[in-house]
Amino acid sequence: MNKFLSAFLLSVSSLYAQAQSTDSVMMKRIYNEVLTRGKCYENLDYLSNKIGGRLSGSLQAQQAVDYTFGVLKSYGFDSVYLQELMVPHWVRGAKEIGMIVKGTQQIPVHICALGNSIATPKDGLRAPVIEVRNFKELEAMGTERVKGKIVFFNRPMEPTHITTGRAYGEAGDQRGSGAIEAAKYGAVGVVVRSLTLANDTNPHTGMMRYVDSIPKIPACAISTKDADELSRLLKIRSAAVVSFFFKQNCEMLPDVKSYNVIAEMRGNEKPEEIVIAGGHLDSWDNGDGAHDDGAGVTQSMEALRLLKHLNYKPKRTLRCVLFMNEENGVKGGIKYADEATGTKHIAAIESDAGGFTPRGFGLDDSITIIMMQKWVPLFQPYSIDWIKQGWGGTDIGPLKKHGTVLIGYTPDSQRYFDYHHAAIDTFDKVNKRELELGAAAISSMLYLLSEYGIGK
């Protein structure tokens, strides 16, 4: 080999090794700090236990804005500010009542209204019930068999998918569009099997939709144990003798003013290139939103705090963005992306899959993956084994129109849907170290993106 070339390659590779070593030293500092003096666990304790469920438009959602704004202010970033927006204001009202009615027998079941649903009539709604697994079965039944009935969507999440999010995605149409599809054939209400792989008595809420051209009918979720029982009874008796009763009192109120909360560390080499990390401040109202998405909120705050605390001077501009209204409208994500028009958001990281042990990062951009995969060895000592094709996140999704690379921080998925959108999504379900390791992973990714950009 040519001596000059050889010397050049040697110097390049030694520069690279040096950079790798600087990076690994920085990451070690980040992880050491979070595991010994981390703040995210106590912040999550506050968000979950002092504030609790914080559905858009609620007092608690505003408290979450105030609290996180105050905490971020105290960390001494270059700036901390609010981004005003309007959000839907759906309220659940009094606790729902659900019953299977079998002849003269009434069997109480665990239900909750789906988010965005209308209420039942004041005295509740009772009708014969028919079970379907999907929209095709519903269509095959047609108006003749569906009219005047409550449609029971009972397709379980597929347990053989290893990534539970995939099973959630595949089962989601029943919850999201079940009421629209059933109403097309004259159904008077829908009951949807809770989207969870657990077999228990917790109903799991979540967003559903209406369209103006089709009558709006009330929709609730039923726990998996109760769904199995309802299905069993329907198999041994005809729909004529098994009916379903539910009463829910939810209501959509006028939109309310709310906020995204943003903190920034300005870049000192390429300040115009922006990298953000975020989660969503709002949560459903039935639990405390500890995993969904108190974890992502407190990890994003911690990710930026760690860099500030370690006196890191970012080359590019770094932001922590706490989005409002992911659960029932994504108004915060849309607002942030609209305001970002004309800026150069090179990458956005979202943490919205629970505070579990880190596994990897999912990217929606195949070119950037190739570049980023050389960072995998930096992450492997910290229980992150891959950077691969994957989903970014709902809140950062709207940034795609600006060409932003979307990065989903991906923790282990096995337990997530046990808690997701249910009353048991509480602080005690979050392990301190698992939460902290996630914060450090996001912080490290922010650091690397600040140092190297996305290589485009």
Hey, which residues are catalytic here?
A: 326
Count of residues in contact with a second copy, rule CB under 8 A: 26
**What track of x and - describes contact with a second copy for positions 187 through 226 (by CB under 8 A)?**
----------xx----------------------------
Q: Verify binding: residue 32, a second copy, rule CB under 8 A.
A: yes
- Smallest CA-to-CA distance from 275 within 369, 351, 364, 346 is with 346
Instruction: Give least dist CB 382 to a second copy, A.
Output: 6
Q: Choose one: 42-50, 156-164, 259-267, 389-397; the region binding a second copy (CB under 8 A).
A: 156-164
Query: Does 434 help bind a second copy (rule: CB under 8 A)?
Result: yes
Residues 36 to 55: which contact a second copy by CB under 8 A? 36
Burial of 213 (0-12, 13-18, 19+ CB in 10 A): exposed
31 is a contact residue toward a second copy (CB under 8 A): yes
d(CA 395, CA 398): 7
What span, in angstroms and rounded, lies between the C-alpha atoms of 165 and 31? 27
> C-alpha 301: how far from its chain's center?
16
Interatomic CA distance for residues 289 and 427, integer angstroms: 8
For residue 306, give the nearest of 74, 19, 23, 29 by alpha carbon. Answer: 29
Among 383, 402, 451, 452, binds a second copy (CB under 8 A): 383
Q: How far is the CB of 200 from a second copy (least distance, A)?
A: 10
The single residue among 93, 211, 431, 455 that binds a second copy, judged by CB under 8 A, is 431
Q: How many CB atoms lie within 10 A of CB 409?
A: 30
**Beta carbon of residue 201, minimum distance to a second copy (angstroms, whole number):** 14
**CA nearest to 450, candidates 36, 18, 17, 22:** 22
Contact window for a second copy (CB under 8 A) among 121-129, 232-240, 290-298, 383-391: 383-391
Cβ atoms of 102 and 235 closer than 8 Å: no
Burial class (CB in 10 A: 0-12, 13-18, 19+), 326: buried
Q: Among residues 44 and 85, whose Cβ is nearest to a second copy?
A: 44
Q: Does 361 bind a second copy (CB under 8 A)?
A: no
Segment near a second copy (CB under 8 A); pick from 143-151, 212-220, 302-310, 381-389: 381-389
The region of 49-57, 100-108, 262-270, 432-440 touching a second copy under the rule CB under 8 A is 432-440
* Residues 406-425 contacting a second copy, CB under 8 A: 412, 414-415, 418
| Least distance CB 414 / a second copy (angstroms) | 5
Least Å distance between CB 280 and a second copy?
Answer: 24
* 449 Cβ neighbours under 8 A, 6+ residues apart: 275, 316, 346, 347
What's the closest the beta carbon of residue 42 comes to a second copy, in angstroms? 12
Letter string b/e over residues 289-319, b meaning 16 or more CB atoms within 10 A of that residue's CB: bbbbbbbbbbbbbbbbbbbbbeebebbbbbb
Q: What tokens appear for 279 in the block?
A: 């989660």
Sign of CA dihedral 211, 214, 218, 220: negative
Question: Contact residues for a second copy (CB under 8 A)?
Answer: 31-32, 35-36, 159-160, 162, 164, 197-198, 357, 359, 381-383, 385-386, 412, 414-415, 418, 431-434, 437
